[in-house]
Structures are given as C-alpha cells and as structure tokens.
Amino acid sequence: MTVSKQRLFHGTAMAMVAIMANPASAQDISPTADEKAVEDVILVTGSRITRTDLTATSPVVSFDEEQIALDRAVTVEDITSKLPQFAGGVNSTQTGSDGRGAQTLDLRNLGQNRTLVLINGTRAVPFSFRNAVDVNAIPAPLLKQVDVLTGGAAAVYGADAVAGVVNFIIDTEYEGLGVGGSWETADSFNTYDVHLKAGASIGSKGNIVAFIGYTDRGGMNIGDRKFARENSSSVVAGIGGNFTDVASGNFFAFDEQGNFTTTAQTSDLSDQYDLVQPLERINASTFFDYEIVPQAELYGRIMYTKVDTVGSGRSGNNPVTVNETVTITEDNPFLPDAARDLLTFVDGEASVLVNRTLGELGILTAATERTTTQYMGGLRGELASWLNYDAYIQYGEVDEQTVVSGDALKVNASGASRFAAIAKTVDIFGPGADLTGFGQDFVQENRNRKQTVGAFTLSGDSSPLLSLPAGPVRFALGYEYRKESLKTSDEAAIASGLTYRGSGGGVTIGSFDVNEFYGELLVPVLSDLPFVQELTLEGALRYSDYSNFDAETTDKVGLSWQVDDNIRFRGTYQSVIRAPNLGEFASPTFSIPFSLLRTVPRLAPRYLGDPCALGTGDQAQCDRFSAPPAGSYDSLDAANLTGDYFYGGNPDIGPEKGNTFTLGAVFTPAFLPGLELMLDYYDIEIRDAVGQIQPVDALQSCYIENPTADNPICAAIARDADTGYILDAFVNDRNLGVIKQRGFDINANYTHALDFAGPLQQVSVSYQGNIVTHYSIQRNPVLDPIDCKGTFGFSCSSDAVSLVQPDYRHRLALSAGGDVGLLQFVWRRIGAVTDSGATDEEIKAVNYFDLNAQWKPPLEGLTISAGLRNIFDKKPPLPAAAGAFGTYPGTYDVIGRTFGLSAKMDF
C-alpha cells in the first residue's frame, strides 16, 4: 500500500461522521466494512501510532471545517473563544502587553506557556520569550479541523503539553480553486477578510495546495464604548499645566480650554486609548506531498505571515507627563500677567515646578510588525507491509519590531533637560504648545525568535514476529532534536531609561537545545468476548536531554475498553514537564516605574495599595518594617510610588513537573441512533510551577496573612528608608508554586433525520461543557493554597494574563437544515465567579447568544453565511475589582452585537 493510499493525516477524523455544521467531539467510531477493506491508516492527535480505527485513550474535542465556515472565522480567536476549555489568553484586547496584537491559547486557565500548539502534528514556532504561539499565523479558512486534546501529552510531543495540545489540521488534499471573503461589523468596528486557495493533484503522485489571504481588523478605542468610558478613566496631570513657584509656594494652572486658574488641573485622555487593537495581516502558505517512489513520499509546507498592529507600549497609553523644576524668565512673552504676579523673580529668573501632560505629543502608541515564517520538509513511506517511517526537519522564525510614538528624550546630548530648554522658547502655559521636534519615535524592541526541529519515527506493528489473540502490537519509536533561540534589544535611549515613557529594557540573548528519544506501544489485550469487544493498553515513554538543565523522563499509560457497540471506557495517567522558556532562564532583570501599576489598567491588579496605610495590615508588622501609620498617605496615588518594579529571568530556574489523570466514557446507545455522549474526568497537578510574587500577594502575605519577622515573602517589597512609603517590587521568576485542577468535560451530539423531503431534512444538538470541581494555586511554600474555583482576579491567574476562572462554561448549538442550508442557534454561558482578592464581590453568570445561517444557492460551489454574534448586545460585567477597561476583556465581549456576512466559491 502506498503512502498516498494510506492517506496519512493528523486528527481524530471526527469530521467523517459529523453531520450538520456542529463542533464534533472525539467520538471513537469503529470503521465500517468498506473502511476496513480500504485499510485507511489514521494518525490520532495525542499519539504517533498509526491505526485503522479511531479509538484513543485521551479525550479530544474537535471543531470541524463546516463549523469554522459557519462561524465565519477570520482568526483562530474566532474559533477558540467559543470552546469552554479555553481561557482568554493574550488576544486582541490585551493592549499594553508584550503580546502586541498576538493571539495565544490558554487551556483550562493553566497559562499560555502550558498549551502546546501543533500544525499538522508538528510544533508551531513561538513568537516571544515565552513558548506561546501567535496563532494569527494560522490561516483559518484553510483549516480542515481543530483538535483539542485536553490532557497532558509530554510523553508523545515533549515539553509544554501540560494542559493539553491544540492541533491545527490543514486541508492539504484540497483540489480546485476557492475564493472567499467576509465582513464583520459592530458599532464603529469592522473586520474584512479575503482569501484565495488553490489545490491540484500532481498526476497520480501527489498534491499541492496554496493559500493567500488578507485581513484588516479595525481598532476600537475606549471612547467607542460607553461602559469603558465610565470605568476606565486614567487621570494624568492637566494638559494645560500646573505650576508652583518654588520660592513662595504660589500655585496656578490652566484648564483644557487655556483658562487661568488657581485650582490644580487633571486631564483624562483615556477615550483615545486602545480597547481592541487593529490588525492588518497577510497569510501565504503552501502545502505539498509527492510520491517519489512507492516507498517514499516527499511532503512539507511553507508558511508566511505578516501582521501589523497598533496598540500601547509596555508602559501603557498614558501620554508623556513632565514633573520638574524649570527656569522661567521675567520677560517670557508667553507668561500671562496673572501668572507673572505669582512668581518670585531673582535677577529676572524664577524657579517653577511644572507638572504638565504633553498632550500635544499624543498618547503613547506602539506599532508592531511581526513576520512569521516556517519551512518544513519530510520524507515518509513504507519500508515493509508492517513498518512505516517518517522523517522531517522544520525551521521557523519570528522577526518583530515595535516602534513607540508619542515619547520623547528627557535630556539632550549634554545631559540637560530638554523640557527645561523649551520652557524658555515655547508657550507651555495652557494646551496647544508647539512641540515640533520635541517628540520622537523609538524602537522599543527588536525581537527574533528561532526554532529548529528534526525528527525521525518508525511506526508499525509486530505481525511478522508475533500477534496476540486480539491482534498485533502497534508501536512507534523515534528521535527528535529541537533548538530554540531568542534575541531581543531595545533602542539605546529606552534601554538606558532616557525617555519619558519607555520602560527599562536591554538585550536578551538565550538559547537551548534538547535531544529526545521516544517510544509508544498499543497492545490489544482482548477482543470479541462477552463484555469485551476490545480492550487495549497504551504506553509511551520519552527521554529528554536538555542543554540547560538535567535530563527528564516522561511517561504515559492508557486504557481503552470497548464493552460493546454502546459504551467504551478510556483513561490515561501521564507525567508531564514544562521546560523553562527563554525569558524565564535567559532574560536579564528589567524594570518599569512602580507607578505604572496604578496608571496602566492591565497592570493595576498587581498592586492594590499598602495595607499599613489602608489600615488593614497587622500593626506590629507595620511598625517592624517602619511603615507609616494608617491614613498618613495615599498609597494608591501614582505620585507616591516613586520606585521601580523589577522583573526578569533566573538562570537557576528548573522545569515544572506534574501528573495528569483522565478517566472517561463514550456512549453511543443503540436504542437512540444518532446520539453520542462523552464524559471525561481530569486531574492535573503541576509542581515547581514558575511564578512571581507580585506586590499584591507579597503585601497580603507579609502584613495580613503571615505577619512575622521571618516571612521571606516580605523581601519582595522594599520601602523608602525616609518616608516608609512603598518603593520597589522584585518579581523575578522562580520555581515557587503548586497548581491543581480537577473537573469534567462533557460532550454530547445528537442528530435526527427527518422523514420528509424539503429544506428541513435533519436537526441536531451539540453541547460542550466544562465543570471545574477543584482549582487551587499555591504561589509559594510559605503561602497557603488559594481556592481559585469559580473566581476572578489577579490572585488566581496562573500567568498574569487570563484573569477569570469560572467553574462552569458551556456551548450549546441547535441546528436545523438540509442540502440547501441550515440555521443554527448557539448559547454560550460563562458561570458566576467571585473575587479571588480581599472582597466577596460576585460577577453573575453571563450568557451570550449567537445566530448563524448558511445558504447554498443553486450555483454549484457557492456558499453564503450570515450571522449575529451576541444577539442581545450583552454588555460586559463591570465589577469594582476590575481588570482593564473596568471589566475583564479576555473573557467577556467588549465589542457588542456583531453582524457578519461571508461568501465562498469553490470551482
């Protein structure tokens, strides 16, 4: 049998049995007689063993191409945001993060670093110092299927598959010419997408598929949404300026209309800040396979993506604010008489403290250009009727540059203040100063990420040597080499802290490589017995020798018991690891001003005030660390936070280790044809979890939960020796924590064919649900575990990105239709959550409803889809203990009711 006849592909192949455009689950259907005759060989996500059935021990949920088209998916975010196993991750609303318009995946709220992303079964290249992948580089219209394996898979795929694996399966067998386009619109928000794909057979030897697509997603400002305007104010010094005569203490200011006043002024420019980042994207990809000889098939892919986004810098959107003493001359032509009378001139000069936001420079913005390329080539074939091989090498690279606008140099080449210089020649008294030449663009970061992977696998069965009563043993053996590297650099002025808003950075250079040996066995124990139609055992072992820490071994044991045609049980037990990413072990210590934890919404949950000043701290502990008395200063005022927030890597950091356990059942009852029901229990424990002690946790531990002199967590916060105010925070990465999560995944599909002809030929119901029964995070052995089940807030975030941890989520889809089209109603529910911090505030359950429709007119090959997302325009919750924009945009919809229309034509 040739490789092309085998039709090797990755996935659970559930799309073969999916009816109507529903998300199909990993139901393991036995092959029909015809399928057995053809002996198609399937490679299931979560294993490297080829097999002729679809049984698998690990639970896999699939999203098929019909549903992808029905949802008019433009980016992968449009797919994963609908599945209950996914948390927010970095997405289009994560302004101010180092993600810069990227979309990352976070399974089970366990962190983007703990979810492995594959493309057709091999690793996708990460884009940053984390091991996270920007899935914007994956062309959604070319996807055949998305498999989500919601259990660890380190023994099969290596490190990082702690929470699970997401395998994006490209349709590499497409033939013909396809064109498509889509338009999504909400109030003041539009997204456009066009694409072209072409596929052709190369004689009878192979196939080639090419794709090119263009996406333009408009941005959205806070001012475009009323809820965000009301809850996202970011007060800065007045754009007209506040002025204090140093000698006399006399004060005056100018309001936003330029009027003279003796009342201090502030400005709120947050209406201009980014709520959703715009994105412009070009995708171009080619996939091919060609049978050189019956024993060798050449295959591979070339993928190119260029993404341009505009968001905020690491330090947020806040514009430049000066707060310094300058010299004002008595003959300054711009100085109003009322102001001149309040200044003390000595020899014609007065020293004046100026506190003024330079609104003339605009808000701070960061424009990022990210280019992702990946090249992959392999050779696979049949060495014997019982033995196959697969060898490939792939190289991926991400080049990224971020340019910050709206910033300025604080000093000139001589080290003198540039603002003090222009104060003599420019009208700084009131808004509208001519700051031509004062502002400047800076390269905040150049980032280059590379990944090289090479692997060789032998897979087959034991039929030439032995065959058990239930059949031959199937196996896979192989070797994999992987090298990762990262280099980042900031422009010298930013790295040296010479600009107003650029956060301290520098150069990061790091790399590691790993040699891995792996093996899998699939042992058919029993078959064709009463109550044992089929019983198989599965095992996997991987030895990983890393260049930057000791070698590790991971393993897996699995069981599949097909009782009869009605029910099957499955289970796995696995050990998993997550290798330290390049940022965690190679990054130097960086810093940003501590005050940004009050002025940048994304950072605000990391610091909630000084317990001693707020009166909530233990008084003896406050006295021990020379803290000021309660009420003596406003610890939430950014002006009182003059120190730095230090963060970075740790060369002594080690891998995270853990275990995952799953146990499930698959029901396909004969008494109700068309029903498939899957229930899977999972138990995940991660030890030595990498984390940081954020200021909010350090202060809680030091002054409230464990107010003792020898509490080591107190060292994560430093106070000013003179005032006792909060000064510096130290949050470098360490192997600190233990994360545990247990719960259930439920997947159900029912399809019923109707007996009458017409447009309504069948109806179906599809349900995917996730129930979390336990979720706890222990940040440090000194700290008690936090109960994170059904919570929101920074305290229960495993990676400081996904901030909502509901204990229940579901997606329920009702569909009806036939050959000419269908109508689908979708109900998405996010369960109620309570504040994981100091309050008992609750966010009630949120329900979203979507409506999708698809029509296939008489013109062959044409499909038109339309729909409404968030039909009832549900606004996001606005808790007092909020994240960015007064809510949690990574979880809740901030765009509102959206209408979409798409069309595709296959020739």
Helices marked H in 591-728 — which ranges?
Answer: 596-599, 611-614, 619-624, 695-700
Q: Return d(Cα 683, Cα 773) in angstroms, integer.
A: 10
Fold designation for 3-221+277-313+368-405+443-583+655-692+734-906 = Maltoporin; Chain A (2.40.170)
As to burial, measured by CB atoms within 10 angstroms (0-12 exposed, 13-18 middle, 19+ buried), residue 531 is exposed
Q: Is 516 within 8 Å of 552 (Cβ atoms)?
A: no
> The tokens 């514009």 sit on which residue?
319
Residue 216, helix vs strand vs coil: strand
437: left (phi over 0), alpha (psi -120 to 50) or beta: left
- Contact 215/192 with Cβ under 8 angstroms? yes
How does residue 846 score in pLDDT terms, banded at 50, 70 and 90?
A: very high
Round to the nearest angstrom and report the end-to-end CA distance of the chain: 31
Task: Identify residue 424 by its one-letter amino acid code.
Answer: K
**10 band by pLDDT with thresholds 50, 70 and 90:** very low
Reference 368, options 402, 317, 407, 405; nearest CA is 402
> Could you tell me which residues come within 8 angstroms of residue 669 by beta carbon, excluding any fewer than 6 positions away?
566, 675
504 burial level (CB within 10 Å; 0-12, 13-18, 19+): buried
When comparing pLDDT for 51 and 128, which is higher? Answer: 128
Q: Residue 18's pLDDT band (boundaries 50, 70, 90)?
A: very low
Interval 61-69 mean pLDDT = 83
Q: Are 290 and 206 in contact (CB under 8 A)?
A: yes
pLDDT at 6: 36
- What's the average model confidence in pLDDT over 26-54? 53
Strand order of the β-sheet with 60-64 is 60-64, 143-149, 164-170, 115-119, 122-123
- Picking from 488, 490, 517, 522, the residue whose alpha carbon sits closest to that of residue 503 is 490
| Digit-coded pLDDT (tens) for 778-798 | 877 767 898 999 999 888 888
Q: Could you tell me if 304 and 283 are in contact, meaning their C-beta atoms sit under 8 angstroms apart?
A: yes
Beta strands, E only, 239-364: 242-245, 251-254, 260-261, 266-268, 274-276, 279-293, 296-311, 321-329, 349-357
- Whether 600 has a pLDDT exceeding 50, the answer reads yes
Mean pLDDT of 625-643: 93
pLDDT at 416 over 50: yes
SS3 state at 464: coil
Rounded to whole angstroms, the Cα distance separating 853 from 861 reads 17
Q: Please determine, for residue 9, whether its predicted confidence score (pLDDT) is greater than 50.
A: no
Each domain of the chain, given as residue ranges in start order, spans 3-221+277-313+368-405+443-583+655-692+734-906, 595-641+694-730
Q: Is the dihedral of CA 269, 270, 272, 273 positive or negative?
A: positive
Contact status, residue 822 vs residue 816, Cβ threshold 8 Å: yes
Amino acid, res. 570: R
Say yes or no to pLDDT of 4 above 70: no
CA distance 725 to 489: 33
Q: What is the pLDDT of residues 347-357, one digit of tens each?
A: 999 999 999 99
| pLDDT above 60 (res 651) | yes
Report how far Cα 357 is from the mean position of its chain's Cα atoms: 33
CA distances from 727 to 56, 342, 645, 716 (A): 54, 34, 9, 11
Neighbour-count burial of 251, counting CB atoms closer than 10 A to its CB (0-12 exposed, 13-18 middle, 19+ buried): middle
From CA 709, how far away is CA 717, in angstroms rounded? Answer: 14
State yes or no: pLDDT of 27 exceeds 80.
Answer: no
Task: Say how far apart CA 573 and CA 165 lie, in whole Å.
Answer: 16
Q: How far is CA 416 from CA 68, 409, 421, 498, 820, in A?
A: 58, 11, 8, 11, 74
pLDDT tens readout for residues 267-304: 988 888 888 889 999 999 999 999 999 999 999 999 99
